[in-house]
Amino acid sequence: MMSKAPVTPPYFDETHEALRASVSRFVDQEIMPHIDDWEEQNTFPKEVYKKAGDAGFLGLGYPEEFGGTPGDQFHKLVFSEEIMKTTSGGLVASLGSLDIAIPPIAKWGSKALKEKVLPAVIAGDKIAALAITEPSGGSDVAGIKTRAEKVAVDGKEFYKVNGSKTFITSGMRADFYTVAVRTGGEGYGGISLLMIEKGTPGFTTGRNLKKMCWWASDTAELFFEDCLVPVENLIGAENTGFFAIMTNFQSERLMLTAMANATSQIALEECMNYVKEREAFGRPIGKYQVIKHKLVEMATKLEVSKTMMYNVAANMDAGIDQVKAVSMAKNFATDTSDFITYEAVQIFGGMGLMRESKVERLYRDNRILSIGGGTREIMNEIISKQLGL
Ligand SMILES: Cc1cc2nc3c(=O)[nH]c(=O)nc-3n(C[C@H](O)[C@H](O)[C@H](O)COP(=O)(O)OP(=O)(O)OC[C@H]3O[C@@H](n4cnc5c(N)ncnc54)[C@H](O)[C@@H]3O)c2cc1C
């Protein structure tokens, strides 16, 4: 029988492949020579934003008039898949914080707000962060406590903001923050989004939190004490913030799905090589059936997970509601990456716990993926509602 090429939906065309090659070069030249040092230093130089901006990577999917490069979900996925080859979730999350912070401004911000924030962030000159989570909780977005009260000062209108945020990615070094605040009554109907700039009196950053994962990223506490924010910084209409946050979560969840699948892919590839080299009892460990079957299960789960992700991305591009599907895809991808990174460390044995092996960092960095952007349990809550339960 003649062998035929496998049939795959035509998700990637020449524009995606050109982008893949360009991101891959960027990763090899600009990041790989330094990433291990940056991880140990718990940071990376700000110039990386500028270089990524100059290469056009930060503006993928944003309008050209603000310096962006229009594209579809698959351009974003290609960028995620390639940049994850740095094996630094921290660097990826930091470079990616703009993608959770600026979409509400691009969609609902005033013209002046768009002109102020989007070009500077897309160029890599400024950094943007999204601040929703509070010390009292992140899952219950409708319960946020940070208050923004309208006041007049010297004839000008401001929101006076009081409260605090925590676990904010890029929180230490961002310039622009998209902040969820309570402008109205209790519950989801009282929430708005405000753009708050670093340096606004009454706004301070606290600790750069030390963490298990994402060492190269900064994760901060933010404090607002009688912080006066111009009313022009309101993103969209007052008290419609909850809808904006939930809309924003859809693309964040797809990107976290992509990070989980890329984590699984790299861990699996590392194992495929290692089992051929590493010998025990006079044989390469890959010759043992128990190891082979582990690898088969890893590869099978990953294949299913990637298929789900691409399907969700294609439907998003077609404008079809993916609230249920993206929550399912995220949970499936993170279950898969939990399984694969655990087994990868197991297959590497002692070497799997050494910082010199890639699987050690993949294992640590993976742990956040079923918590950030909505936990596994919250995804299941969303899915159950969508199923009518
Ligand atoms: C490294 C890192 C980076 C982050 N970056 C950002 C950022 O940039 N911006 C931002 O706003 N936030 C950020 N977060 C916060 C993240 O989104 C939250 O940690 C997450 O949403 C969970 O909130 P929580 O930690 O307060 O947990 P909680 O909400 O306190 O939940 C605790 C546990 O209870 C479970 N639970 C809660 N409610 C239910 C329920 N109804 N049913 C069943 N189980 C439930 C949860 O699933 C979880 O297991 C980041 C977190 C980390 C660790």
Beta strands per DSSP E along the chain? 128-131, 147-153, 156-169, 176-182, 191-197, 203-208, 219-230, 234-235, 279-280, 283-284
Confidence of residue 4 (pLDDT cuts 50, 70, 90): confident
Which string of DSSP letters, residue by residue, matches 304-339? HHHHHHHHHHHHHHTT---HHHHHHHHHHHHHHHHH
Q: Whose CA is nearest to atom 18 of ligand 1?
A: 138
Q: What is the pLDDT of residues 189-218, one digit of tens each?
A: 999 999 999 999 999 999 999 999 999 999
Please state, as a whole number, how many other Cβ atoms lie within 10 Å of the Cβ of residue 34. 15
Q: Whose CA is nearest to atom 11 of ligand 1?
A: 132
Cα separation values, 18 from 48, 307, 337, Å = 21, 22, 28
| Bridge partners, 158 (sequence order) | 151, 230
Confidence of residue 8 (pLDDT cuts 50, 70, 90): confident
| Residue type for position 198 | K
Q: What is the pLDDT of residue 297?
A: 98
Contact 213/176 with Cβ under 8 angstroms? no
CA–centroid distance, 291 to ligand 1, in Å, is: 35
Confidence of residue 2 (pLDDT cuts 50, 70, 90): low
Atom of ligand 1 nearest to the CA of 368: 53
Atom of ligand 1 nearest to the CA of 100: 8
Q: Is the pTM of this model over 0.85?
A: yes
Give, for ligand 1, the residue of 375, 380, 381 to mutate: max count of ligand atoms closer than 8 Å to Cβ.
Answer: 375
Q: Which residue is associated with the tokens 């890959």?
A: 286
Q: Whose CA is nearest to atom 31 of ligand 1?
A: 139
Any idea what the Cα angle at residue 253 is, between residues 34 and 310, rounded to 5°?
Answer: 90
Give, for ligand 1, the residue of 91, 100, 133 to mutate: max count of ligand atoms closer than 8 Å to Cβ.
Answer: 133
Active site residues: 252
Both tokens assigned to 152: 């007049």
Contact 47/349 with Cβ under 8 angstroms? no
Dist. CA 267–CA 333, nearest whole Å: 14
Confidence of residue 5 (pLDDT cuts 50, 70, 90): confident
| Residue type for position 261 | N
- Does position 9 have pLDDT exceeding 80, yes or no? no
CA–centroid distance, 143 to ligand 1, in Å, is: 13
Both tokens assigned to 28: 């090899």
What's the mean per-residue pLDDT of the chain? 97
Both tokens assigned to 272: 């495929």
Contact 99/52 with Cβ under 8 angstroms? no
Atom of ligand 1 nearest to the CA of 170: 8
Residues framing ligand 1 (Cβ under 6 A):
129-133, 137-139, 167-169, 211, 213-214, 219, 368, 371-372, 374-375, 377-378, 381
- Does position 3 have pLDDT exceeding 70, yes or no? no
Cα separation values, 369 from 10, 182, 374, Å = 28, 27, 9
Contact 159/231 with Cβ under 8 angstroms? yes
Q: CA-based diameter of the chain, in Å?
A: 83
Q: What is the pLDDT of residue 191?
A: 98
| Residue type for position 37 | D
| Bridge partners, 360 (sequence order) | none
Contact 126/118 with Cβ under 8 angstroms? no
Q: What is the pLDDT of residues 123-164, one digit of tens each?
A: 999 999 999 999 999 999 999 999 999 999 999 999 999 999
| Residue type for position 355 | R
Q: What is the pLDDT of residues 90-124, one digit of tens each?
A: 999 999 999 999 999 999 999 999 999 999 999 99
Confidence of residue 1 (pLDDT cuts 50, 70, 90): low
Q: What is the pLDDT of residue 14?
A: 95
Question: What size, in residues, is the chain?
Answer: 389
Q: Whose CA is nearest to atom 25 of ligand 1?
A: 138
CA–centroid distance, 364 to ligand 1, in Å, is: 17
What would the mean pLDDT of 276-295 be, rounded to a whole number? 98
Q: What is the pLDDT of residue 43?
A: 97
Dist. CA 358–CA 192, nearest whole Å: 41
Q: What is the pLDDT of residues 68-87, one digit of tens each?
A: 999 999 999 999 999 999 99
B/e letters for 151-165, b = 16+ CB within 10 Å, e = fewer, are eeeeeeebbbbbbbb
CA–centroid distance, 371 to ligand 1, in Å, is: 6
Q: What is the pLDDT of residue 141?
A: 97
In sequence order, which residues have a C-beta less than 8 Å from that of residue 184 and are 6 or more positions away? 190, 191, 192, 238, 239
Query: Three-state SS string across 146-192, please?
Result: CEEEEEEECCEEEEEEEEEEEEEECCCCCCEEEEEEECCCCCHHHEE
CA–centroid distance, 168 to ligand 1, in Å, is: 11
Both tokens assigned to 147: 């208050």
Both tokens assigned to 83: 């940049």
Q: What is the pLDDT of residues 327-386, one digit of tens each?
A: 999 999 999 999 999 999 999 999 999 999 999 999 999 999 999 999 999 999 999 999
Q: What is the pLDDT of residues 235-265, one digit of tens each?
A: 999 999 999 999 999 999 999 999 999 999 9
Q: What is the pLDDT of residues 227-238, one digit of tens each?
A: 999 999 999 999
CA–centroid distance, 370 to ligand 1, in Å, is: 9
